[in-house]
Chains A and B, each alone.
Chain A
Amino acid sequence: AQKITQTQPGMFVQEKEAVTLDCTYDTSDQSYGLFWYKQPSSGEMIFLIYQGSYDEQNATEGRYSLNFQKARKSANLVISASQLGDSAMYFCAMREGWGGSNYKLTFGKGTLLTVNP
């Protein structure tokens, strides 16, 4: 079974509107972290936002927020007031556990977001 599932291969949004990118995860660990990265066409991965499994409040970073529903095992990224520069691939990733076993980030297959003017 996939550990990270992003069901939307592509999404379109109008400039200045909000958009939600879906991410569901699968883990039996109680302690884990969820990350969202943005990958523009240049290829570099840019860290956007993090949510820990024990965090009670949803994470926010500027125009990015994470809709964390632990019981549903979902960690959707919400981008408010979309800008043309938001057009990129977006990846959800998870790190499980603590200590030496938590070296690994497991990535989903990504969602290609296109912002239309």
Chain B
Amino acid sequence: DGGITQSPKYLFRKEGQNVTLSCEQNLNHDAMYWYRQDPGQGLRLIYYSQIVNDFQKGDIAEGYSVSREKKESFPLTVTSAQKNPTAFYLCASSMRPRLAGVYNEQFFGPGTRLTVL
């Protein structure tokens, strides 16, 4: 079945450590996104990528990094520079926005819950 997988489901990190969250999709989508969700808040965009080897900062990119070497994969690294990384992280994918117009549904993965100890 087509979909988006994220791993791990739960992740614990010590302060000062970098961690990488995995996101893989087999929907043949060009665009991929990373969102952060805090309690009582909606989703906020961290990074997005419209095509392979290209990515752009979203609203809250500081302390995060990404890569897009393959169409199927868009890993997110939470660096030690991110001051408050404990949150729920959601990955999404969609058709490329330039081609799809405003009706461009984003499909989401199951999320990774990151806790800093």
Contacts and interface: CB of A to CB of B under 8 A. Distances in A.
B90 to A, nearest CB: 6
Nearest to B56: A103
Interface string B61-98: 00000000000000000000000000010101000011
A96 B111 CA distance: 25
A55 to B, nearest CB: 9
Nearest to A112: B40
Contacts of A105: 43, 45, 106
Contacts of B88: 43
A91 B102 contact: no
A89 to B, nearest CB: 9
Size range of the chain B interface in the assembly: 20 to 34
Given A99-B97, A110-B42, A32 B102 contact: yes
Given A31-B102, A47-B105, A104 B45 contact: yes
Given A45-B90, A45-B108, A52 B103 contact: yes
Contact of B40 (A32, A33, A97, A109): A109
B107 A99 contact: no
A50 interface: yes
Contact of A103 (B42, B50, B108): B50
**Listed residue (A31, A96, A110) with the most chain B CB atoms within 10 angstroms of its CB:** A110
A86 B24 CA distance: 28
Contact of B109 (A32, A44, A53, A109): A44
Contacts of A68: none
A66 to B, nearest CB: 13
A77 interface: no
Contact of B58 (A44, A45, A50, A104): A104
